[in-house]
């Protein structure tokens, strides 16, 4: 893997990277979860991190999103005003503010990303209130608009998420994350645990919203079909290290590393 593979701007990019990652590593005692990982993520770009269970991809995502402190390296976020913020050196209050406004995090289990004891509308509205919205009518109207966008019937606005199906909960979690117009979104196996037909519908929804809003996205998945559909570039991880990186179609159509070849072959034979 070329060290520059994921640091070069994609064709047509005119802005600075949204996220710059240099030498990230994380150990748990003697166990190395991830090591020496570097890349840039550009506005409007989707980066997929793939690998088998235990490859370190989820640990890496948690380090990138500020949920876990790395043992080494720097994660720098470029704000909308052009200020570079080391997300692990900034004050906790600032990191929390960014997490509520500039960033989104879509969990594999939507129960981890929703407040199950409040209504669907309140789940979406809370994010707006974090930006200072106070007019109830405006907040409710925006929540209803977002329910439309994620294909949740408007009449369910006052229902609790615990009454929703798994796919509907995941769509509600996406609405909750995107209502503030974030610049950077992290997704951890967003279609995991859903049946195939629900997965396909959700992937179409995610792809449309990401493209329409010009989001920068880091998505962790074990499913190469998800990576191919959603991402522009890809990191293949094994035993905590990146073994291959590049444009998604190039890596999946002509994998160079033996482990990448094994992953692709397992999908073709499945």
Q: What is the pLDDT of residues 52-103, one digit of tens each?
A: 999 999 999 999 999 999 999 999 999 999 999 999 999 999 999 999 889 9
Tell me: do 202 and 82 sit in the same domain. Answer: yes
pTM to 2 decimals?
0.92
Tell me: do 196 and 163 sit in the same domain. Answer: no
Q: For the chain, what's the residue count?
A: 270
What would the mean pLDDT of 161-189 be, rounded to a whole number? 96
Per the structure, the count of domains in the chain is 2
E strand spans, 46-199: 46-50, 72-78, 84-86, 103-106, 184-188
| CA 94 to chain CA centroid, nearest Å | 20
Identify the domain boundary among 148, 181, 214. Answer: 181
Q: Domain range spanning residue 243?
A: 28-102+182-270
Tell me: do 98 and 186 sit in the same domain. Answer: yes
Closest to 180 measured CA to CA, from 100, 106, 269, 112: 100
The model's pLDDT over 157-171, given as tens digits with 9 standing for 90+, comes to 999 999 999 999 999
Identify the domain boundary among 181, 216, 234. Answer: 181
Share of the chain above pLDDT 90, in %: 83
The model's pLDDT over 120-132, given as tens digits with 9 standing for 90+, comes to 999 999 888 888 8
Closest to 34 measured CA to CA, from 242, 257, 262: 242
């Amino acid at each position: 893997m070329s060290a520059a593979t994921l640091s070069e701007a994609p064709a047509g990019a005119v802005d600075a990277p949204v996220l710059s990652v240099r030498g990230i590593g994380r150990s748990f005692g003697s166990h190395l979860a991830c090591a020496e990982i570097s890349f840039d993520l550009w506005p409007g770009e989707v980066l997929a991190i793939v690998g088998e269970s235990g490859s370190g991809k989820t640990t890496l995502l948690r380090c990138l999103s500020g949920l876990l402190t790395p043992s080494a390296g720097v994660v720098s976020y470029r704000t909308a005003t052009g200020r570079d913020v080391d997300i692990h050196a900034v004050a906790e209050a600032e990191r929390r503010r960014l997490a509520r406004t500039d960033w989104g995090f879509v969990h594999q289990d939507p129960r981890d990303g929703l407040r199950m004891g409040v209504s669907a509308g309140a789940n979406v509205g809370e994010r707006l209130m974090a930006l200072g919205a106070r007019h109830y009518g405006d907040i409710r109207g925006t929540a209803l608009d977002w329910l439309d966008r994620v294909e949740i019937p408007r009449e369910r606005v006052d229902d609790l998420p615990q009454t929703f199906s798994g796919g509907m909960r995941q769509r509600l979690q996406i609405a909750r994350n995107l209502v503030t117009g974030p610049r950077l979104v992290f997704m951890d196996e967003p279609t995991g645990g859903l049946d195939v037909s629900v997965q396909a519908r959700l992937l179409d929804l995610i792809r449309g919203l990401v493209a329409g809003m010009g989001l920068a996205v880091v998505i962790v998945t074990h499913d190469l079909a998800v990576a191919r559909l959603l991402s522009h570039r890809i990191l293949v991880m094994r035993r905590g290290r990146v073994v291959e990186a590049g444009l998604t179609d190039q890596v999946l159509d002509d994998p160079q590393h033996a482990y990448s070849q094994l992953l692709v072959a397992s999908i073709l034979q499945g």
